[in-house]
Amino acid sequence: MVIATACEDPCEQLQSTFASRYVRDPLPKFKLPEKSIPKDAAYQVIHDELMLDGAPRLNLASFVTTWMEPECDKLIMDSLNKNYVDMDEYPVTTDLQNRCVNIIAHLFHAPVGAEETAVGVGTVGSSEAITLAGLAFKRKWQNKRKLEGKPYDKPNIVTGANVQVCWEKFANYFEVELKEVKLTEDCLVMDPVKAAEMVDENTICVAAILGSTMTGEFEDVKLLNELLTKKNKETGWDTPIHVDAASGGFIAPFIYPELEWDFLLPLVKSINVSGHKYGLVYPGVGWVVWRNKDELPDELIFHINYLGSDQPTFTLNFSKGSSQIIAQYYQFLRLGFEGYKNIMDNCWASARVLREGIEKTGRFNIHSKDIGVPLVAFSLKDSSKHTVFEISDQLRKYGWIVPAYTLPPDVEHIAILRVVIREDFSRSLADRLVADIDTVVKLLDTLPSPLSSSSKVTLVTTNEKGEMLKKRAAEVLPEIAIYWKRLKDGKRTGAC
Ligand SMILES: Cc1ncc(COP(=O)(O)O)c(C=O)c1O
C-alpha cells in the first residue's frame, strides 16, 4: 500500500479534495492499516464511500428524525465529548435529562405531585426503554408470586402480532413468553377483546401500541383498560398495561388531546416513547416513564459512587453520549406545545395530500387510518401481474426509499408499501412522490410480469409434509418472493 508519497507539494496535500491523490492502492478493509494516512485523505475516502448510501431525507422507511435546526446541530457538536454517565462531572446535563423526564411525564398525565419528581430515564431508543419496562414488570410479578408461594418461572406478555421486533428480542433475551393476538383483514392491530381473553395468571403485562409500526394505527388502550379492570376484578389478578408509544407518544398529546391512552387510565403503569422519532431528535434517544416509583422495583436500580456521589442508574449501558439528551431539551424549549402541535398538524396535512394522490391512481387499497401516526400504508388492488416489491425497487431509481413488506400473522398474504411522513417531508415532495408512483405503475403495465412470463414453466416443490408437488412457476414465485423478503429483512420486514 502506498500512501501520500506522491504528493510532494504540501500545499497540494492541504488543498487536494480527492482521496485518489493520496491513496494509490486499496486500503485494507478488514484489517487495521499498518501506516497512518493524512486526515483529509481519511476524511475523503470515507466521505466518498458514504456517498453511495441513500439520502436520509428521502428515506421514507423510517420514523427517525433526519433534520434538525443548525442551532441544535451546534449544541450537539459542542457536547459530543461529554459522557452522559459522568453525572457528577456534568451535573447540568443530568439536570436537563431530569427536566426532559418530567416534561414527558406531565405530557402523559403521570400523577406527579407538586413537590415530586417523575420516575423515568433517558435511553438509546424505545428498544432499551421497552426492555427496562419489561424487566420492571417481570420482577414485580415474580416478587408477588414468590410472596404468594406460587410458581414464577413462566412469565408471559400479551401483545398484538404487529409488535415491533424489540418486543420479540426482550421476550427472547429475558425468557418471557410472547403471546401474540393474531391480526385479521378487518383488524390490523391488537384486538383488545382477544388480548384480554389471552391474559392468564402468568401475564406480566399487556403491551398496547400507540402507533402500530406497520400501519400507524393506534390500538384501543381505553377499551383494553376497561376489559382488564373487569378481568382483574373477577380473577383477583392485577395485570397491568404498558403503552409502546414509540411513535405516537409525541403525536397524540398534541393533536388528539381527547384520546385516552396514557396514565389517565389506571392500569397504564409505564410508557415508552422514542425521542428520535416524533420527539424530533437525531437517532440515539428514547424515554421510559413509570406511573410512580412503586412500579419500578428498587432492586433493579444500581447505586454507584465512584464518579463522585451516589448515583442511581437503571439503564442497560453505562457510557453514552450526552448530545441527544441536550438536543431533546432544545426541542422542548424551542418548540413548546405550540411548535410540536404545528409540526404534527403539518405532517398530517402532507400525509393527506399523499393519501389522496395515491387513492386517485385507482390502483391501491389504503390500510392506514385517518387517526394515528402520519403515514400512508397501501397495497396493490391487483397484484396478479406485478407486486409492491417491484414498485419499491422502481421508486428507488427516482431516489425514493419506500419499503415494501408483508404484514404479520394471520395477514401475511397482504404486502404493503409504507411512506412515513416526517417534518422534513414537504407538500411539494408529496406531490412529486405521487407523480413518481403513478409513473412507476404505468411503466410496470408495459413490462412483462415476472409472475406470468414464466407461467408455462413447471417447478417442483415440496409441501409441509415434505411431499413433492408440481406447481406452475407463476404460483411458486410469489411464495419465493415472500420467503426471500423475510430472509433478507429479518422476520419483521420494513419495520423500524
Ligand atoms: C411501535 C414501536 N416500538 C418500538 C420501536 C423501536 O424503537 P427504537 O428504534 O427507538 O428502538 C419501534 C421502531 O420503529 C416502533 O415502531
User: Average pLDDT by consecutive 10-residue portion of the chain (496 residues)?
Assistant: 44 52 78 91 90 90 96 98 90 93 97 91 97 98 98 98 97 98 97 98 98 97 98 98 98 98 98 98 97 94 71 88 97 98 97 96 96 97 94 94 94 96 92 96 92 54 58 55 54 46
Q: Kindly report the protein residue whose alpha carbon is nearest to atom 14 of ligand 1.
A: 496
Grid coordinates representing 484?
Answer: 426471500
CA of residue 170 to ligand 1 center, whole Å: 13
Q: Which atom from ligand 1 is nearest to the alpha carbon of 245?
A: 1
Q: What is the dihedral of CA 24, 26, 27, 29, to 10 degrees?
A: 170
Spell out a b/e string for 85-104, using b for 16 or more CB atoms within 10 Å of the CB, else e.
Answer: bbbeebeebbebbbbbbbbb
Distance 163 CA to ligand 1 centre (A): 9
Cell output for 31:
484489517
Q: What is the pLDDT of residue 25?
A: 74
Report CA(236)–ligand 1 centroid distance (Å). Answer: 33
Kindly give the residue spans of alpha helices, DSSP state H, lying in 303-426: 323-360, 388-396
Contacts 24+ apart (CB under 8 A), 150-158: 150/201, 154/202, 155/202, 155/203, 155/204, 156/200, 156/202, 156/203, 156/204, 157/203, 157/204, 157/205, 157/206, 157/207, 158/195, 158/198, 158/199, 158/203, 158/205, 158/206, 158/207
Q: Whose CA is nearest to atom 7 of ligand 1?
A: 126
- Report how far residue 272's alpha carbon sits from residue 189's, in angstroms, rounded to the nearest whole number: 18
**pLDDT the model gives residue 479:** 58
What is residue 210's DSSP assignment? B
**Closest to 280 in 3D by CA, of 213, 344, 237, 196:** 344
Q: Give the separation between CA 75 and CA 58, rounded to whole angstroms.
A: 25
Q: How many CB atoms lie within 10 A of CB 461?
A: 14
- With the most atoms of ligand 1 within 8 angstroms of its CB, the residue from 66, 166, 209 to mutate is 166
Residue 43 carries which side chain, given as an amino acid letter?
Y
Contacts of 84 (CB under 8 A, 6+ apart): 90, 93, 97, 122, 319, 320, 321, 322, 325
pLDDT at 14: 45
**Within its chain, how far is the Cα of 404 from the centroid?**
16
CA of 176: how far to CAs of 117, 139, 153, 156, 393, in Å? Answer: 31, 11, 9, 5, 38
Listed residue (297, 418, 321) closest to 366, CA to CA: 418
Q: Give the model's pLDDT for residue 172.
A: 98
**Residue 335, pLDDT score:** 98
Residue 219: its H or E element? none
Length of the chain in terms of residues written: 496
- Centre of ligand 1 to C-alpha 164, Å, is 6
Q: How many CB atoms lie under 10 A from the CB of residue 317?
A: 11
> 48-107, pLDDT tens digit by residue?
899 999 889 989 999 999 999 999 999 999 999 999 988 888 999 999 999 999 999 999
Rg over alpha carbons for the chain, rounded to the nearest Å, is 26
| CA 127 and chain centroid, separation | 8
User: Could you read off the pLDDT of 112-171 as tens digits, one per residue?
Assistant: 998 888 999 999 999 999 999 999 999 999 999 999 999 999 999 999 999 999 999 999
The CA 310 to ligand 1 mean position distance, Å, reads: 32
Task: Report CA(126)–ligand 1 centroid distance (Å).
Answer: 5
Question: Residue type at 458?
Answer: T
The residue whose grid cell reads 381505553 is 222
Q: Which amino acid is at 387?
A: T
Start-to-end Cα distance in the chain? 40
* Residue 403 DSSP symbol: -
In ligand 1, which atom is closest to the CA atom of 286?
Answer: 10
Number of H helices, E strands in the chain: 13, 15
SS3 assignment, position 189 = coil
Residue 228 in grid coordinates: 382488564
Residue 6 has what pLDDT?
Answer: 44
Ligand 1: list residues with CB < 6 Å. 63, 125-127, 164, 166, 209, 211, 213, 244, 246-247, 274, 286, 496
Measured CA to CA, the distance from residue 339 to residue 50 in angstroms comes to 33
Q: What DSSP state is assigned to residue 371?
A: S
